Amino acid sequence: MARRALITGITGQDGSYLAEYLLEQGYEVWGLARGQANPRVSRMRKLLSDVRVVRGDLLDQGSLISAVERVQPDEVYNLGAISFVPMSWEQAELTAEVTGMGVLRMLEAIRVCSGVSRGASTGSGQIRFYQASSSEMFGQVSETPQNERTAFHPRSPYGVAKAYGHFLTQNYRESYGMFAVSGILFNHESPRRGAEFVTRKVSLGVARIKLGLATELRLGNLEARRDWGFAGDYVKAMHLMLQAGTPEDYVIGTGRMKSVRELAEAAFSAAGLDWERYVVTDQTLHRPAEVDLLCADPKKARVQLGWEPNVAFDELVALMVESDLKLLSAGGDLDQDSSWP
């Protein structure tokens, strides 16, 4: 019988790549979708017609219990979250509820539905749980590169909420013997990345300028450095973590950092443009507290899971620019279903 996976956050970037990958592996894939008439659900259905949809919301415990009861999954991937860091200052309580408490509700749904009790051991037949933890938890980093033992110092309400979800996942593993793991993923991007995140903002900005639809690109802190990889590579690591013999947490990243300035340089250059002519810095886009740098030490994932990233930074940037040039040339509108190439 096909293994069954339930993915929260199915309408997001990672949800789409993970669903595609699991379908290729022969899984029956279910996506948890929220809202009465969520336009992102119909967009997802167009791209991933084989995914089955179950309704539910990370804010609603009963809906998660019903979803787990209905799907009877072998694996649950909790990708749903408010994931845009600046929004977490504007709606800190909502972020805590969705990104933090949502993890508790999902774990409880699994615990209740599978009848797991205290002190059980991680046996076969259990629902395996993946939590989408984040390098944003490292925040003001205490060492570079960051590994599974690096201390957390989150710098945003989002990072704090993710740290809660991370520790809770560990705690359910230790308290109930659940096969529950966290992937501490560093920034990963793609042509399906939300337009609010800096890589997609830049690739779309470059495409607009190249096509004569805009004359400048406004950015915040150009000195921030991130470890950027390709989302398609990272969802494979999520899957590998749930196939491992023992439940453990892993850092996933490339081990290389680039600044926002270097990102702009690479993206404009991919379109044959000079970034300095178009990028305008805007103080209002700076954050109340910044994460200056993030850089992964993915050695544990390489050694224990055999995971390695395949797409390098320049290739990733070029493919995003090329994709947005195609999208906008074809009259694509980001507010419509065509926003995903």
Check if 27 is active-site. Answer: no
Please give the Cα distance from 185 to 187 (Å, whole number).
7
Which of these is catalytic: 63, 88, 134, 323? 134
CB 190 within 8 A of CB 13: yes
* Distance separating alpha carbons of residues 187 and 202, to the nearest angstrom: 15
CB-based contact 57:63 (threshold 8 Å): yes
Tell me the CB-side half-sphere exposure of residue 60, using CA atoms within 13 A.
Answer: 14
The catalytically annotated residue of 17, 77, 158, 234 is 158
The two structure tokens encoding residue 46: 């167009």
CB 38 within 8 A of CB 14: no
* Contact range with ligand NAP by CB under 6 A, out of 168-176, 184-192, 262-270, 309-317: 184-192
Tell whether omega for the bond before 341 is within 30 degrees of 0, i.e. cis: no
Q: Does 11 bind ligand NAP (CB under 6 A)?
A: yes
- The SS3 of residue 37 is coil
- Whether 124 is catalytic is no
Residue 227 binding partner per list ligand NAP, ligand GDD, none, with a CB distance cut-off of 5 to 8 Å that depends on partner kind:
none
What is the closest distance, in whole angstroms, from the C-beta atom of residue 316 to ligand GDD in the complex? Answer: 13
SS3 290: coil
Instruction: Locate 36 and state its tokens.
Output: 């009465």
Place of tokens 């600044």: 259
Report the distance separating Cα 16 and Cα 44, nearest Å.
Answer: 7
Residue 76-115 contact track with ligand NAP, rule CB under 6 A, x = bound? ---xxxxx--------------x-----------------
Residues that bind ligand GDD in the complex, under the rule CB under 6 A: 83, 85, 134-136, 186-187, 196-198, 201, 219-221, 224, 226, 260, 285, 287, 290-291, 294
Q: Which residue among 28, 136, 189, 265 is the active-site one? A: 136
Which token pair is 162? Answer: 């993710």
Residue 14 interacts with ligand NAP (CB under 6 A): yes or no:
yes
User: Cβ 127 to ligand GDD, closest distance in Å?
Assistant: 24
One residue of 6, 13, 217, 270 binding ligand NAP per CB under 6 A: 13
Q: Which is nearer to ligand GDD, 196 or 276 (CB)?
A: 196
Active site residue 135: no
Query: Would you name the residues annotated as active-site residues?
Result: 134, 136, 158
Binding interface with ligand NAP (CB under 6 A): 8-15, 34-35, 38, 40, 57-59, 79-83, 98, 132, 134, 185, 187-188, 194
